[in-house]
């Protein structure tokens, strides 16, 4: 039969106050938790089994930390339009974090090709197969949005040295505003190391193929958006 440390009598207050005195109380859990007493020789031995199991459960309840705590990360951007590079980071990020929020930024300083609602819709369709990924939108400071969502990390992709300089500046400023928010940099897959939304827009506007650069649904929306009579000719001319 497993022996429970003499000082740990299963009292809740004792566990809260004394769990740091050594690791012996922590070791009660795996030992006592494995005790099965269907063949106890006496009533006293059976009572000891029951007591040990209850004491172990109380010790586990008093240990610090929450084993079920979820790590939430935010992947912010304008996504005009979403590219295969974006989806590469989203898929890989979804394997690292318990929940990944793809946060669509409302940026009044930019004149996007696609409206906010159009980009939101495309992102929702692109990540629909990923159970722990959701799409949201925000404006204002990223650190404030992260606090509202309970996020502890920001996911960002870095394609080149020029990206790093900008992203480093943003990461350090976010840390200044909220030291609890960490920035996680990920390198893109080699196939997408040159890819950006700006290049995709320019290629599409000049009539080039973006077949391998964006998801199929985004390619279809680009063709519809830039087709003659679609009402986007002025936007296209302005962006050129």
- 223 given a catalytic annotation: no
- 92 given a catalytic annotation: no
Burial string for 188-208 (b: 16+ CB within 10 Å, else e) reads beeebeebebeebbeebbeee
Q: Which entry of 119, 156, 197, 225 is annotated as an active-site residue?
A: 197
- 116 given a catalytic annotation: no
Q: Shortest CA distance to 72 belongs to which of 27, 134, 25, 114?
A: 134
| φ, ψ of residue 219 in degrees (nearest 5) | -60, -40
- 95 given a catalytic annotation: no
Q: Which entry of 21, 24, 110, 180 is annotated as an active-site residue?
A: 110
Q: Which entry of 149, 159, 175, 239 is annotated as an active-site residue?
A: 159
* Active site (catalytic) residues: 86, 110, 159, 197
């Amino acid at each position: 039969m497993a022996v429970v440390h003499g000082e740990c009598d299963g009292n809740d207050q004792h566990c809260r106050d004394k769990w740091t005195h050594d690791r012996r109380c922590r070791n009660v859990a795996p030992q006592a938790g494995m005790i099965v007493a269907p063949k106890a020789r006496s009533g006293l031995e059976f009572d000891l089994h029951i007591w040990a199991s209850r004491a172990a459960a109380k010790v586990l309840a008093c240990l610090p930390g929450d084993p079920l705590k979820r790590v939430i990360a935010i992947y912010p951007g304008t996504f005009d339009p979403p590219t295969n590079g974006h989806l590469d980071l989203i898929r890989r990020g979804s394997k690292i974090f318990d929940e990944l929020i793809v946060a669509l930024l409302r940026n009044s300083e930019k004149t996007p090709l696609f409206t906010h609602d159009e980009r939101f819709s495309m992102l929702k369709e692109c990540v629909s197969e990923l159970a722990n990924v959701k799409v949201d939108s925000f404006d204002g400071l990223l650190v404030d949005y992260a606090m509202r969502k309970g996020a502890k990390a920001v996911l960002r992709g870095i394609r080149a040295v020029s990206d790093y300089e900008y992203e480093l500046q943003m990461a350090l400023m976010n840390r200044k505003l909220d030291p609890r928010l960490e920035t996680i940099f990920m390198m893109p897959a080699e196939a997408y190391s040159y890819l950006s939304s700006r290049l995709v827009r320019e290629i599409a506007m000049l009539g080039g193929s973006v077949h391998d650069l964006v998801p199929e649904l985004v390619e279809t929306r680009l063709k519809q958006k830039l087709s003659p009579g679609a009402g986007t000719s002025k936007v296209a001319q302005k962006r050129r």
